[in-house]
């Protein structure tokens, strides 16, 4: 089975602080892609960051970075200098090279407070 676990249903962080969202996944395949999506109240799913499993270097996009631990099947998202606009649901997802559908976790609701 291919599963994604996000163990933090809700998190809160103060503006300008740093927060880390956790994600673990399970797959027997070795080639896959990992993603973090953001879903604000508008419902629009927005790609935040992606990581190819064959790359050892952790992906970074401005204030967003990941800690990818392939052996542990862990893919956490770090948001630095949190902004009010970061308030949203965050979903961890992956897709294998042999598959065609994204597998999603249940999401983490992040609230950024002033």
- The answer to whether 26 and 73 have CB atoms below 8 angstroms apart is yes
- Residue among 24, 33, 78, 111 that touches other proteins (CB under 8 A): 33
The angle subtended at Cα 75 by Cα 71 and Cα 79, nearest 5°, is: 145
- Residue among 42, 56, 57, 62 that touches other proteins (CB under 8 A): 42
Q: Is 97 in the site for other proteins (CB under 8 A)?
A: yes
Q: Is 91 in the site for other proteins (CB under 8 A)?
A: yes
Question: Judged by CB under 8 A, how many residues of this single chain contact other proteins?
Answer: 23
Q: Is 1 in the site for other proteins (CB under 8 A)?
A: no
Strand segments (E) across the chain: 3-5, 10-14, 19-21, 24-26, 32-39, 46-52, 60-61, 64-69, 74-79, 88-96, 103-104, 108-113
Interacting residue ranges for other proteins, rule: CB under 8 A: 4, 6, 9, 33, 37, 42-45, 47, 50, 91, 93, 95, 97, 100-107
């Amino acid at each position: 089975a291919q599963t994604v676990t996000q163990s933090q249903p809700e998190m809160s962080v103060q503006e300008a602080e740093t927060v880390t969202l956790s994600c673990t996944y399970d797959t027997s395949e070795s080639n896959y892609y990992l993603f973090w999506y953001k879903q604000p109240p508008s419902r629009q799913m927005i790609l935040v960051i992606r990581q190819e499993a064959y790359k050892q270097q952790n992906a970074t996009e401005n204030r967003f970075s990941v800690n990818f631990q392939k052996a542990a099947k862990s893919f956490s998202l770090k948001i630095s200098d949190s902004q009010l606009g970061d308030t949203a649901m965050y979903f961890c997802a992956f897709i294998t090279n042999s598959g065609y559908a994204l597998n999603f976790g249940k999401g983490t609701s992040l609230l950024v407070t002033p």
